[in-house]
Amino acid sequence: MITPSLSFLLLLFTVASAVPSFLNYSCITANNPASTTYLNNLNILLTNLTSNTQIDYGFYTSFFGHNTDTAYAIGMCRGDVNLNDCRSCLNDSRLLLTQICPNYQAVGWYEYCMLRYSNLSMLGRVADHPQFSLWNPYFISSKEFNQFNKSLNTLMDKLRIEASGGDYRRKYAFQNVTSGIQSYKGIFGLAQCTPDLSRQQCDDCLFGAFSEIQGCCNGRRGARVIKPSCNIRYEIYPFLTSTIDAFSPLNAPGKEASNIIGYMAPEYAMYGQFSVKSDVFSFGVLVLEIVSGQKHNCTRRGDTLEELPLTFAWRSWMEGRAANIIDPSLSNSAENEILRCIHIGLLCVQENLVERPTMASIVLMLNSSSLSLPVPMEPAFFAGSRAKSPRVADKQSEEYILKGTNESTGISVQEFTITKIYSDTK
């Protein structure tokens, strides 16, 4: 017999898989609802754009309509993504972005693609905003910082030169350099511009993006800055496994892959060590994402730093306010079942892999409401944990790093009981 906890979680997975969420999006003119004529033109435009089978290089642009109700759109896929996945990603973007942003201008980013639309022509114009940043929670050690930055600067120069030198079909580069330090074999990087930009425009956009990385993410083991016209990323692991020319007919589809640091167990992100407990970690992150309705990414939108959902979940749990984690859209659901899912999710993302449960025990936990659960320990990638480095980019970043500490509560993990946490949230 399936218990309420298990059936509730299965329902959440079904809903989440049916409605994929953006990595980020912006309803640029949210206070200016579009006219019915413009929205009709936009729907026709985007339907034609995402069903275009003539273009095979991952960049789509077109317009439809007349005068002030003309709709313009730009769609671009990441340079390594195969053609079928590119079109599928853009189609998902079309369905979601027009639903959440029924106004004149908007932009949405998935991991594989970006879609923009506007009532103004966008071709040949650099758009630096809206932008956002993502970064690896861990830092390079202070003794390795200078050499790492030297190698990173070399990589960024190479990426800018190669990407900006592309043609009207694609301005994209993926390269790696040796790090020059013993801890990491190399640094891997990606840069891409919308190919409607000139060489100089692309170079300037990427230069600005790298400057943003130095501001928000200096000393981190990985980071990216994403703008409407360009994006740049580096990691200490090969986050792409496809060949560079993924749209070439010589390359079989379905070979590309991307790993987002938020789903990666710390032992794999740091040392390349993988086990069945690494999958348990990823499962825990996914459960917490679904319950909270938030992606597990460190983000900066403009000047605002946003707390990791995992960090927020742990801090709320420690303060006896676990219900704060729950997505408001689930407010009418069985709270105890949701809290049990949160509890199991936190057990899965514990930093010490030995403490994480096996998948078999997770099934038992979900299938038996009477089965008592152990107290979770501190999760990996917890802001304010011992993983942080003393080198911090700026004062604002320092405030963010320290944001998850529990010094004000004066309570240790072991002092909480499961009954106490559940009852305090009602």
Looking at the fold, whether 205 and 270 belong to one and the same domain comes out as no
What would the pLDDT profile of 233-267 be if each residue is shown by its tens digit? 999 988 874 433 344 433 333 333 333 445 677 77
CA atoms within 13 A on the CB side of 400: 19
- What HEC string does 382-407 produce? CCCCCCCCCCCCCHHHHHHHHHHCCC
Which residues, listed in sequence order, are joined to residue 114 by a DSSP beta bridge?
76, 109
The per-residue pLDDT for 215 is: 86
Domain assignment of residue 352, yes or no: yes
pLDDT for 170 beyond 90: yes
CA atoms within 13 A on the CB side of 35: 11
The per-residue pLDDT for 289 is: 84
Mean pLDDT (whole number) for 296-300: 49
- Note down the domain range covering 46: 19-118
Structure tokens at 231: 């994006």
Q: How many domains does the chain have?
A: 3
What would the pLDDT profile of 352-406 be if each residue is shown by its tens digit? 888 999 988 998 888 888 888 999 998 876 544 433 332 223 322 222 222 222 2
CATH code of the domain in which 69 resides: 3.30.430.20
Structure tokens at 309: 């959902």
Domain assignment of residue 107, yes or no: yes
Domain's final residue, options 204, 234, 259: 259
pLDDT for 303 beyond 50: no
Q: What confidence tier does 282 reach under pLDDT thresholds 50, 70, 90?
A: confident
pLDDT for 414 beyond 70: no
Looking at the fold, whether 281 and 333 belong to one and the same domain comes out as yes
Mean pLDDT (whole number) for 36-43: 95
pTM value is 0.61
Looking at the fold, whether 320 and 407 belong to one and the same domain comes out as yes
Question: 203 with 164: CB under 8 angstroms?
Answer: yes
CA-nearest of 13, 18, 96, 24 to 288 is 13
Which residue intervals of 217-358 are DSSP H helices?
Answer: 266-271, 276-292, 309-318, 335-348
Asked, as a colleague might, if the bond just before 130 is cis with ω within 30 of 0, I would say: yes
Least confident span in 9-18, 120-129, 176-185, 368-377: 9-18
Looking at the fold, whether 175 and 277 belong to one and the same domain comes out as no
Query: CA–CA separation, 160 vs 179, rounded Å?
Result: 18
Domain assignment of residue 223, yes or no: yes
3-state SS, residue 223 = strand
The per-residue pLDDT for 45 is: 95
Residue 396 main-chain phi, psi, to 5 deg: -65, -40
3-state SS, residue 284 = helix
Which residues, listed in sequence order, are joined to residue 176 by a DSSP beta bridge?
188
Structure letter (DSSP) for residue 413: G
Q: What is the β-pairing status of strands 304-306 and 59-64?
A: unpaired
Looking at the fold, whether 411 and 273 belong to one and the same domain comes out as yes
Looking at the fold, whether 234 and 277 belong to one and the same domain comes out as no
Domain assignment of residue 78, yes or no: yes
What would the pLDDT profile of 58-103 be if each residue is shown by its tens digit? 999 999 999 999 999 999 999 989 888 899 899 999 999 999 999 9
Question: 195 with 59: CB under 8 angstroms?
Answer: yes
Question: 5 with 336: CB under 8 angstroms?
Answer: no
What would the pLDDT profile of 323-353 be if each residue is shown by its tens digit? 888 888 776 668 888 899 999 999 999 988 8
* More confident site: 279 or 14: 279
